[in-house]
Amino acid sequence: MTSYFLRHAYVDGAVRDDVSVEIADGRFTTVEAGVSTGWTGGTGSTHGAAEVVEGLTIPGLANCHSHAFHRALRGHTQRERGSFWTWREQMYAVAERLDPDSYYALALATYREMLATGITAVGEFHYLHHQPDGTPYDDPNAMGHALIRAARDAGIRIALLDTCYLSSGFGAPVTGAQLCYSDVTAERWAARAQQLCGAAGDDGDDVVIGAAIHSVRAVPGDQLATVARWASERGAPLHVHLSEQVAENDACLEAYGVTPTALLDEAGALTPGTSAVHATHLRPEDVETLGRTGTRACFCPTTERDLGDGIGPSRALHDAGSPLTLGSDSHAVIDLFEEMRAVELDERLATRQRGHWSAAELLDAATVQGHASLGFPDAGRIAVGQRADLVTVALDSVRTAGAGASAEAVVFAAGGADVRRVVVGGRLVFTPDDLPGIAAELDAAVGAVRMAP
């Protein structure tokens, strides 16, 4: 058993002082607030049998939308003008250079960067399935296994969202870099994804195999239901890129006569187990449909602003019944603190009013809702029975000093660089001593991919 004495901790929706937690078999067995006063030791000292942790400790953060290989693009896509579509060409060039070994190394370093910023679970939206010419590897899931291995070795929990991607656009065949994404038909995608399910461990393990529909562009309308059924029959999470671009909506209306949201709804793909990623350009009836079906809305504000996507109706979705979750998507930035506050700050810019989202609501999106959307409903709270994830934020950094021990300080003042300790499932997986090694790993892994022929 491990025990900690947390100076301040976010428990039951509020910051509490002097919180004692005990952990056994990766889960909290005791959580008690206000149990002691008068102790003076700093982090690393002990209070009875418990290790003392200064700062403000919050539950683990869930990064619900990741493409690990996009990390190799950071800093290299900011010179030209262009659009989402020109950025996509650069992303394809990186995708073509990856194999299971280089993908493992890049994902391992990227996941360690996530841990360093307090992310304890990642939803990996994975579609680099095959060799560059489309030929499957000897193990058809070699790339998926590389990602799972990277997550396990990093110490982060993963929902591998195996993604169906069959078309370059509304039934047109895949070309170029997209060849490595395609399983040709949804049935063949399902057969390969099924083989991958053996990679997940027993209940309580840190790996979930989920499904994803890349988009209504990439999966023909008559095959959407196959993917949706595969996920629902297994109780697996289903994620889908939705209406990130106006051009996608226009092409969908032309091809099918309905919006992407309506098309997914007709296919039975919108349920409480579904996450609609981006959900940027929606009609009022789309918002109503997503809310009615309980579909979660996964916003990725730092990517959406990087790519010039636009600002989605986060509050309207929430009020309609779509819980919010967050992701760092393209990893232009990996910082869930920034994603949290960006949701509120973007709404302020769009409406010229403040106060749409409270800090507590944004923390809920980044923790409870996020983990649940990845198939980990037993994570995201510091509570008895939950998975023992603890993220400690410094209150004495240049950003947080004087800001107080509050949810507002965490959401609106702190950043990933203020994370001092990360515990996942009761295991200490990050302290700032790890930062130089993580930076060196990132440099080597990105360099290897960018220099490959």
Residues that bind Zn ion (CB under 5 A): 329
Residue nearest to Zn ion (CB): 329
Q: Which of 162, 183, 286, 329 is catalytic?
A: 329
Q: Is 278 a catalytic residue?
A: yes
Residue 241 C-beta: closest distance to Zn ion, Å: 6
Q: Which is nearer to Zn ion, 306 or 389 (CB)?
A: 306
Pick between residue 6 and residue 158 the one whose CB is nearest to Zn ion.
158
Give the nearer residue to Zn ion in terms of CB position, either 7 or 239. 239
Pick between residue 158 and residue 413 the one whose CB is nearest to Zn ion.
158
Smallest separation, CB 35 to Zn ion (Å): 44
Closer by beta carbon to Zn ion, 113 or else 304 = 304
Reply yes or no on whether 329 is catalytic: yes
Smallest distance, Zn ion to C-beta of residue 99, A: 22
Question: Cβ of residue 239: shortest distance to Zn ion, in angstroms?
Answer: 9
The nearest distance, CB 110 to Zn ion, in angstroms, is: 14
CA distance 380 to 125: 20
Minimum distance from residue 173 beta carbon to Zn ion (Å): 22
Pick the closer one to Zn ion by CB: 329 or 441. 329
From the candidates 47, 130, 145, 278, give the one annotated as an active-site residue: 278
Catalytic residue IDs: 278, 329
